Amino acid sequence: MFATLLTLLSALYKAMAGKTPERSFIMVKPDGVQRGLVGEIVKRFEQRGYTLRAMKMMHASKPHLEEHYKDLSSKGFFKDLVAYMNSGPVVAMVWEGKDAVKTGRKMLGETNPLASAPGTIRGDFCIEVGRNICHGSDSVESANREISLWFKPEEIIAWDPCIKDWIQE
């Protein structure tokens, strides 16, 4: 309860100061977990200067995944996508920082890994659209929806890394 209150007060203070950083939802899919790439993906976001606010490994239920991917429910691949995402554990994360959504998507690369530039996560580690190892929010609105779907407010930790002033103006 006390931690939740501190989190809310911190968020309120930042909002009032006009300094609420953007948050993005990033998920390592079952193929990324199975291939041992979680640490590499976390490393890239940390090295870029983003702050990890929440992270958990879980085996998401089919209803949870159907809700997450509901915007794709009319697509022919929807059932296969949900079945695949339900085939093993995923690692869900909340990353925070300047332009976290847009830059996070650039860091991940194109949905089709073969169209992804070398140096991006997908460009470096995958070749198939159906095994593209990660998901990233495509807008601030979808990030907010996805974060609230995967994390309770008290699971998102408010903290400032000691190197913050060396990364942000």
Q: Quick check: is 135 catalytic?
A: yes
Q: Is 86 annotated as a binding residue?
A: no
The answer to whether residues 124 and 134 touch, using CB atoms and an 8 Å cutoff, is no
Evaluate whether 85 touches 23 at the Cβ level (below 8 Å): no
154, 145, 93, 48 alpha-carbon torsion, rounded to 10°: -120
- The residue annotated as part of the active site, out of 59, 64, 68, 135, is 135
111 is in an annotated binding site: yes
Q: Quick check: 96 and 23 in contact, CB under 8 A?
A: yes
Q: Tell me if 145 is assigned to a ligand binding site.
A: no
To the question of whether residue 106 is assigned a binding role by annotation, the answer is no
Cα–Cα distance measured from residue 85 to residue 82, given in angstroms and rounded to the nearest whole number: 5
Rounded to whole angstroms, what are the CA distances from 83 to 55, 69, 107, 128?
Answer: 22, 12, 26, 17
- Catalytic sites, residue numbers: 135
Cite the annotated binding site for ATP by residue number.
29, 77, 105, 111, 122, 132
Cite the annotated binding site by residue number.
29, 77, 105, 111, 122, 132
